[in-house]
Amino acid sequence: MSRISPTVTSKLSILGEQLTDRLGRVHTSLRVSVTDRCNIRCFYCMPIENVNFRPREELLTFEEIERFVRIGVTVGIRKLRLTGGEPLVRSKLPRLVERLAAIEGVDDLALTTNGILLAEQAAALQAAGLHRLNVSLDTLNEETFQKISRRTGLQRVLDGIFAARQAGFEDIRLNAIAIRGLTEAEIIPLAEFARSNDFELRFIEFMPLDAENQWEREQVLTTQEIRQILEAAFCSLEPSPRIDPSQPALDYHFADGRGRIGFINPVSQPFCSSCNRLRITAEGQVRNCLFSTTEWDARSLLRGGGTDEQIRELVRELVRDCVSHKHPAHGVGEVDFVKPARAMYQIGG
C-alpha cells in the first residue's frame, strides 16, 4: 500500500490546512480506539457479562490506522491518544506505536490504560516512541477496586505504574473517576499516593456512558466537594497556569509544593467551548464527541481501494463535515439530552 510521503505532509502543513468548525475551534487532537475489548468490567464503562465485542475482521488494521493518521496530519492533526476498551489487550500494540511515532507532524503520542498489562509492556511501549501515559486508578483498596472493576487486579495496576516509571516514562497521569457514595474515601489516599510518588492525579466526574444505564446525576461528585476534602487534609490548592487552552482539566497545585491535581468536569462544567478532539472507533467510525449520536464511516473509505491522494481528499471532507456538526455543548443533565447508543468501551475513552 502506498502512503503519503513526509515531503507531502510537510508541504500541506506549510499551507496551513486546519480543521476549523463553525464555532472557531481548531481540531488538532485525535483519539484512536484500537479495540473494544477489555480485561476488566468497570461498571461506569462496560456491562458485567454478555458483552458482544466486534469481530477481529471489523477492526481497523494497524496499516489502516496509520494511513488514517497520516491523512489526518495533512489537515492539522498533531496529537494522538490510543484508547480502548483496553488498548494493551490489542496484540503487538508497540508495533502500532512505533509506526505512529514515526509520522512526521505527530507531536504528541499518548495512551490511556487500566494498567493491568502495563508492567509487561511498558518497556516496549517506551522504546517504540510512546510519549505519555494515563493510567486509570480509582482506588488503592482492593475491595473497592473489585466493586468498580468487577475483577481482581489492583496490585497489577500499581506494578504497572511503577514499571512504566522504571522504563523511562516521566509523564504519568493517574485518572480517578469520582462517584458519590463510593469513592469519597479514596480521595485522600489517592492524593497522598500521587504526592509521595510525584504523579499527577486527575479526578473525572462520573459520566452517563455506562453500558447498564445506571448513571444518575446525584452520583456526580463535584470538584468543589473534592477540593474541600483535599484542602482539609493537606493544604490549599492554587490554580496552575493553563498551558494548553484546549485541555479538559482544570489544574491546581498544592501550596506546599507537593503535587498536582486536575479536575475534569464534563457534567458540572462542560469544556465543549474549547474542545479540539476528534475520535475514531476501533472499527473505523469517526465521532466528534463522546456524546455524539452521529458517526461517519471512515473504514469504507480506507478499504475502498482508492489511492492515498483520493482517500486523503475524501477523509478531509468527511472530517470537516463531522466538525461542522459539532455542537457548542453536549447537554448532559439537560431535559433534551440524548444518551449515545454506545457505551464508553465501544466509543473509546
One DSSP character per residue, 60-77 reads PPHHHHHHHHHHHHHTT-
Instruction: Please give the class, per CATH, of domain 6-347.
Output: alpha beta
Q: Are 316 and 74 in contact (CB under 8 A)?
A: yes
Extract the C-alpha cell encoding 213.
444505564
Known binding residue 207? Answer is yes
Known binding residue 46? Answer is no
Known binding residue 278? Answer is yes
Known binding residue 235? Answer is no
Known binding residue 322? Answer is no
pLDDT per residue rounded down to tens, the chain (349 residues): 333 334 333 333 433 577 776 667 777 889 999 999 999 998 888 888 888 899 999 999 999 999 999 988 988 899 999 999 999 999 999 999 999 999 999 999 999 999 999 999 999 999 999 999 999 999 999 999 999 999 999 999 999 999 999 999 999 999 999 999 999 999 999 999 999 999 999 999 887 655 566 767 778 888 899 999 999 999 999 999 887 776 777 899 999 999 999 998 776 666 566 677 888 999 999 887 766 767 788 899 899 886 677 666 655 665 566 666 656 665 555 555 555 566 667 777 6
Known binding residue 303? Answer is no
Known binding residue 78? Answer is no
3-state DSSP call for residue 116? coil
Known binding residue 112? Answer is yes
d(Cα 34, Cα 84) in Å, to the nearest integer? 6
What pTM does this model have?
Answer: 0.87
Known binding residue 324? Answer is no
Q: What are the φ and ψ backbone dihedral angles of 68, each rounded to 5 degrees?
A: -65, -40
